[in-house]
Structure 1
Amino acid sequence: MNFKVLIILICCFLSGKSIANNSEKVSINLIETSDVHGNMFPFNFISLSKGSGSLARVSSFLKEQRAKFKDNCILMDNGDMLQGQPTVYYYNFIDTVSTHIAAKVMNYMKYDLGNLGNHDMETGHIVYDRWISECNFPFVGANIIDKNKGIPYLKPYHIIVKSGVKIAVMGMITPAIPCWLPENLWEGLYFQDMEECAKIWIEHIKKVEKPDVIVGLFHSGSSGSLLNDIVENASMNVAKNVPGFDVIFMGHDHNLLCKKIVNIVGDSVLIADPGSRANNVASINIDMFIKNRKVIKKKIDGKIVNMNKFSPDSIFMAKFSNEYDQVKKFVSERIGYISSPVSAKESFFGPSGFMDLIHDLQLRVSGADISFTAPLSYDSKIDKGNIYVSDMFKLYSYENMLYVMTLSGKEIKDYLEYSYSNWINTVKNENDTLMIIKRYGRRYNFINPTFNFDSAAGINYEVDITKPVGSRIIIKSMSDGKEFNPDNTYKVAINSYRGNGGGELLTNGAGISKDELSKRIIWSTDKDMRFYLMQYIIHENNVIVPQLNNWKFVPEELYQKISIKDRALIFGR
């Protein structure tokens, strides 16, 4: 090879220029975290043990990427930061004077962009508005609309320019917020359908901004879940039906995904979802070949990167050591003593202390006739002995308020019929499987979300496992011995997620229209259920776990034989 040609080849390689078209190559790295749920540190403040994932580990990975891509590394978060670990609960509701830890950490990590998730909005305007104001980067949300102004509450999109390359990032949130959260938490807002919203803004972005790359940052899962005519997980619909996006980052459904799909005009779109709790991030590389200041070719590829391969960033840990210590002190506070162990696992097989404790509290706080609740944790347990603040996050995972609603006796029965239809099969003999489960790896697990498996207290009833849906629930009486009448109206204690239509037990089950739900609410707490659990335990000090024993599966002999097998399949022997 001619020496001069060799020198030219080497120079072109070092400068990133292509011999074929004499173009310059610019490489951009896009990193997405999503559904972190307050997992800042490699420590689980609920179980008080070492934890996986964490933004401390993401910080280590980020330093590697920034060393490689320099300023061309863009970091984005896709929502659900403010709920989950006590780390964020403490700064949401206990220490409301200090700068929120989520803002401190994200500013330290130099996030370029943020999005809101449904669990961020669950904390209420005061909390998420404060968090947004303390972050040194913009939040995007094209389909979160200010009712009074008729315009997006946040920036609909944000422009980032790196090495002369113009990148537009458009944000959206699942529009199903009103199906889960009481309006006081999102007062003054409404949520536009994602596909409809994307069609409007993509045209505006292309016409006005003329970017080289268009990215979607959507706190919404891949597909499915139609709630009261609202598409909860619409990211795939947008990717396929709204041309113009190069990359769409997803979240909300906690499902790992990274692949290319083809949209309706035949263009390739890369979609990515990093799952949850900073166990993984989505890392997308975009190589752009530029000639005469125009992008003539784009090469996009991506991967999901496991953060547990990285050690926590020691500088990160040192910088936030005071916050770490403060949260650990908070969750380690003894609030009382519990007389016997309680386990969420027992909740699927009949009355349990785990559920009875919540039922009892809901009835006490509300004065209602009947209580509905589900195990919000799949396999949490609290041992006999001292009980700590951390245990409250095992007992009650979400920041739900408590409602009292009016339901007829018939609606109560239909509600329970629907609940157990998500939970159990109809069986004929002991060789059948009662629980609606599927094999995942070595173990079986429930197909449907267990946080929708509501049982009731305040009534005595049986669930006949040999009967079809619609005729399983036999309500014998009220728990005080009085007659239960299908035509009577009863006051029912229920959490705000369920009371707003979450899980569709009130709508598809009890047959109450979505528009009617708010009219049925006659009372609400002003604080979340976890607050009342803590206050109750502090007041009682020595908590005697109630034994309500107000319902059971029948025929009992058949159920006992099947349940032994089902327990082994789900939880092992």
Structure 2
Amino acid sequence: MSESKAVFALTLLETSDVHGNILPIHYANNKPSEVGLAKIATLIRREREQNEHVIVIDNGDLVQGTPLAYHHARLDSESPNPMVACLNELGYDAAVIGNHEFNYGKDFLQKAVKESNFPWLSAGLLNAGSGEPFFGKPYIVKTFPDGPKVAVIGLTTHYIPHWENPDHIQGLVFEDALAAVKRWIQYVRDNERPDVIVVSYHGGFERDLTTGEPTEPLTGENQGYAICKEVPGVDVLLTGHQHRSIEGVRIDGVTVVQPGVAGATLGKVRIKLEKRDGAWVVAEKSSELIPVEGVQADQAILDIAKEHEAKAQVWLDQPIGKLKGDMLVRDPMATRLKDNPLIEFINKVQMEISGAPISNTALFDNISPGFPPDITMRDIVSNYIYPNTLQVIRISGQDMKDALERSASYFKQYDGGPIEVSPDFTTPKPQHYNYDMWEGIEYTINISRPVGERVVELTVNGKPIDPSAEYDVVMNNYRAGGGGNYLMFQGKPVVRDIPTDVAELLATYIMEKGTIEATCNNNWKVIHD
């Protein structure tokens, strides 16, 4: 074959937002689930058998998210990190730092990085002292014999300080992701002269992929659209963070992909290059998602997880207390329409532990089962699924009203039919965790009214809230930092910080009490005309 007709086929494989899912099970009941690295592994090995030139990247949020991951981090962290061990087994080329990588602290993350047989990338995470990349490598270059040179730049959403425990990110500077990739892509082009440039960004899209219309407040949390539009020279943008399933999409010539959450799909990008006048040129690109549904789990990955899983399962089934009454979640929508014992219990524990007179929390997803009569650790982590801590912040009455209006926008405006969730809370990913329910105040939400005008009653101890008065409220650290577009909470004075996981606080509370009782004071409700 003459040089002018030389062709090279490159395959990029991406996982993102695996969130500690190794095994294909649902931990609330140990039933099978079509997720996890064990199934992803089978797909990766198959792709390597079918394609000669493969690069495999994890795009972040790997080490947190399941009871197995929690047990390892909190109770067995001296052992090798099981998620890292899986990626080592599969010969990943690199991983990107995600926001949840910081949830268990910097020491835990640095141990995971040290155990990895691959580099962790993030061009915008800088050492506060030196200004150099904190984790050593902002990018990798892979040169194929008789083939092209491929550069992969890692990038992390810089919005992390709005959510994370400050102790976990001390000494780090989070550079604007868009600015960071502009700077590093120029460096890579000038110094490495690659034939293909891939950006692996633990972040998503802030605009509609087709129209370019904003789909969220332009806070900088997600800048994928801007990267495609404003950064010249990007061939492929691997994305994540939003838990979306994106395939077959191109923005300004940039091929994009995003493989959902929990290892339900494997992202795949095919690139065909041709050699023209002595240089490799990208001729064709496409992206797709490969589902793990029906795929056999890989035995080597199952073996890696086996010991960790056995320890986690014993821990999960430890009885910690008893419940008098009913705290089961039978209908998630009903739980969000009027006060109920499960949410009231979590709020009251937060109030008792923190000393704050007002609290808010959420039903994080639609599979939270509630508590049975005999409560185990499995029940705790099945309902409180995030490693949040607590903060008491001081807010104004107006802030409280604004926050309740933000929560009230969770519902579509009522039109006489079934009550429905607003697309703003379901698209591009479900955000049930951004609908808060409060204790310590009395309020009524009318979903027949327009967004922003739905809080029709708001009192504390029977008296109307004073918009200019100050109130101490306990909430999780994600919300206290303004997470979920609760911008009214950003920068508020922190009255008290409780740096213990809420799941641990709930478990300790139940163990100390022995028996808890389901109560409901009906301090709030959602109505319609």
Q: TM-score, normalised by structure 1?
A: 0.84
Instruction: Return the letter of the residue paired with 1:202.
Output: I
Q: Partner residue of 1:342?
A: 328
Over 3 Å counting, the alpha-carbon distance change for 1:204 and 1:485 in structure 2 is: closer
- Which one-letter code corresponds to 1:545 in the other structure? A
Among residues 11, 24, 37, which one is paired with 1:55 in the alignment? 37
Counterpart Cα distance in 1 of 2:521 and 2:348: 9
Query: Is contact 1:345-1:380 (8 Å) kept?
Result: no
- Aligned equivalent of 2:360, options 364, 368, 372: 372
Identify the match of residue 84 of structure 1 among 31, 49, 65. 65
Q: Are the counterparts in 2 of residues 46 and 331 from structure 1 also a CA contact under 8 Å?
A: no
Q: Deviations over 1:395-436 (max 9, x none)?
A: 212111101111233332332233213335366xxx266544
Q: d(CA) in 1 for partners of 2:297 and 2:441?
A: 51
Q: Does 1:534 align with 2:507?
A: yes
Cα deviations by residue, 1:81-126 (Å, 9 ceiling, x for unpaired): 1222112111111111101111211111111100011122233212
Partner of 2:231: 242
Aligned to 1:187: 170
Task: Give the drift of 1:524.
Answer: 0.8
- 1:360 alignment partner in structure 2: 348
Does residue 524 (structure 1) correspond to residue 484 (structure 2)? The answer is: no
Q: Is this contact kept in 2: 1:167–1:212, CA < 8 A? A: yes
Q: What is the aligned partner in structure 2 of residue 411 from structure 1?
A: 399
Partner residue of 1:273 out of 249, 254, 258: 258
Deviations 1:418-456 (A, max 9, x none): 3213335366xxx2665444699xxx9999722121121
Tell me which of the two structures has the higher relative contact order, counting C-alpha pairs closer than 8 angstroms and 6 or more residues apart. 2
Take 1:166 and 1:534, find their aligned partners in 2: how far apart are those partners?
Answer: 52
Distance 1:145 1:52 in 2: 37
Q: Quick check: which one's helix share is greater?
A: 1
Taking the aligned partners of 1:78 and 1:446, their CA distance within structure 2 comes to 18
User: Cα distance 1:506–1:220, how it changes in 2: closer, same or farther (>3 A)?
Assistant: closer
1:226-274, Cα deviation, whole Å (9 max, x unpaired): 88853222112212221111111111111111235353xxxx3211111
Q: How many angstroms apart in 2 are the aligned matches of 1:446 and 1:56?
A: 26
Shift of 1:209: 0.2
The alignment yields a C-alpha RMSD, in angstroms, of 2.7
**Residue 289 (str. 1) matches residue 262 (str. 2):** no
> How far has the Cα of 1:379 moved from its partner?
3.6
Q: Distance in 2 between matches of 1:495 and 1:536?
A: 17
Distance 1:439 1:238 in 2: 23
Contact 1:414 1:470 in 2 (8 A): no
CA deviation vs aligned residue, 1:447-486 (integer Å, no higher than 9, x gap): 97221211211122333455553462423432xx688554
Deviation, 1:522, is: 1.2
Structure 1 residues without counterparts, runs of 5 or longer:
1-16, 559-573
Structure 2 gaps of 5+ residues are 208-213
Q: Which residue of the other structure, out of 139, 147, 154, is the alignment partner of 1:171?
A: 154
Residue 77 of structure 2 is matched in structure 1 by 96
CA distance in 2, matches of 1:231, 1:204: 23
* Matching residue within 366, 372, 386 for 2:374: 386
* Residues 436 and 315 of structure 1, relative CA distance in 2, 3 Å threshold: closer
Match of 1:498 in 2: 479
Q: Percent identity?
A: 26
Distance between the aligned counterparts of 2:92 and 2:222, measured in 1?
25
Q: Which amino acid aligns with 2:179?
A: E
8 Å CA contact retained: 1:498, 1:506: no
In structure 2, the CA distance between the partners of 1:222 and 1:464, relative to structure 1 (3 Å rule), is: closer
Contact 1:176 1:227 in 2 (8 A): no
Q: Structure 2: how far apart are the matches of 1:316 and 1:114?
A: 18
Asked if the contact 1:338–1:544 (Cα under 8 Å) also holds between the matched residues in 2, the reply is yes
Would you say the 8 A contact 1:175–1:230 is kept in 2? Answer: no
Q: What is the CA deviation profile of residues 303-355 of structure 1, one whole-angstrom value per residue up to 9, with x for unaligned ones?
A: 21112232101233234322222222222222222222321443211101221
Whether contact under 8 Å (1:279, 1:308) holds in the other structure is yes
| Counterpart among 185, 194, 210 of residue 211 in structure 1 | 194
Give the letter for the 2:299 counterpart: S
Q: Could you say if the C-alpha distance between residues 208 and 342 of structure 1 is closer, same or farther in structure 2, counting changes exceeding 3 Å?
A: same
| Residue 189 to residue 318, structure 1, CA distance change in 2 (3 Å) | closer
- State the AA in 1 paired with 2:169: W
CA distance in 1: counterparts of 2:477 and 2:281, whole angstroms: 52
In 2, Cα distance between equivalents of 1:471 and 1:269? 42
Task: Give the C-alpha shift of residue 554 in structure 1.
Answer: 4.8
The answer (yes or no) to whether the contact 1:82–1:123 under 8 Å persists in 2 is no
The alpha-carbon distance between structure 1 residues 118 and 227, as it changes in their structure 2 partners (threshold 3 A), is farther
1:550 matches 2:523:
yes
Aligned with 1:184: secondary structure?
A: helix
1-structure distance, mates of 2:430, 2:94: 34
* In structure 1, distance between residues paired with 2:362 and 2:35: 28
Cα gap change, 1:460 to 1:333, in 2 (>3 Å): same
Partner of 1:27: 9
Are the equivalent residues in 1 in contact too, given 2:20–2:64 (CA < 8 A)? yes
Most deviating of 402-411 and 489-498: 402-411
Question: Mean alpha-carbon deviation: is it higher for 222-231 or for 196-205?
Answer: 222-231
Distance 2:215 2:428 in 1: 20
Matched, 1:462 2:462: no
CA distance in 1, matches of 2:454, 2:410: 15
> Per-residue deviation at 1:365?
0.6
2:19 pairs with 1:37: yes
